Amino acid sequence: MKVGRRETFNSAHRLFHPDWSDEKNLEVFGKCSNPNYHGHNYVLETWVEGPIDPVTGFVIDLKLLKNLIRTEVTDKFDHRNLNLDIDEFKDLNPTAENIAKVAWELISVKLPTQMKLTVRLWETENNIVEYSGK
């Protein structure tokens, strides 16, 4: 049984490689490399897999999962600049892939070890990534 919770956060970011020239960054990352940043309403769907607890009927209490997602990820990232304000992206390009990987790592260490975690991140309504760990 899998249980999913949808949360959102609104952040600024830019994509670039610090060793590359502006021209090279523009060539590879296009308008996403605009030096003054742009931003997104990110949607983060967090899925946990495990057995149903026969007493509660829950895999995990969704209030707990909601609070965990907010504490570990969305409250930290929301209304922030991912490149400048978030430690994890100081040396890591905040692509949707890397944001999903960081979110997965921040949440998975707080979950009971037997629970399998998958995160799905919408950067726009057309661009989506999904990560389930190594």
Judged by the rule CB under 8 A, the positions of this chain that interact with a copy of itself are: 1-8, 10-13, 15, 17, 28-32, 34, 36-41, 45, 47, 52, 55-59, 61-63, 66, 78-81, 84-85, 92-98, 100-101, 124-131
Query: Token pair 């003054």 is at which residue?
Result: 36
Per the document, the length of the chain is 134
User: Is residue 32 flagged as an active site residue?
Assistant: yes
Which phi and psi angles does 38 have, rounded to 5°? -135, -165
**Nearest distance from C-beta of residue 10 to a copy of itself, angstroms:** 5
Task: Considering the candidates 13, 32, 40, 72, report the single residue annotated as catalytic.
Answer: 32
Using an 8 Å Cβ cutoff, are 5 and 46 in contact?
yes
Which phi and psi angles does 39 have, rounded to 5°? -160, 175
User: Is residue 45 flagged as an active site residue?
Assistant: no
User: Is residue 23 flagged as an active site residue?
Assistant: no
- For the chain, first and last CA: distance in Å? 21
**Nearest distance from C-beta of residue 113 to a copy of itself, angstroms:** 20
**Nearest distance from C-beta of residue 110 to a copy of itself, angstroms:** 19
Task: Considering the candidates 17, 27, 38, 79, report the single residue annotated as catalytic.
Answer: 79
Which phi and psi angles does 120 have, rounded to 5°? -125, 130
Residues involved in catalysis: 32, 79, 123
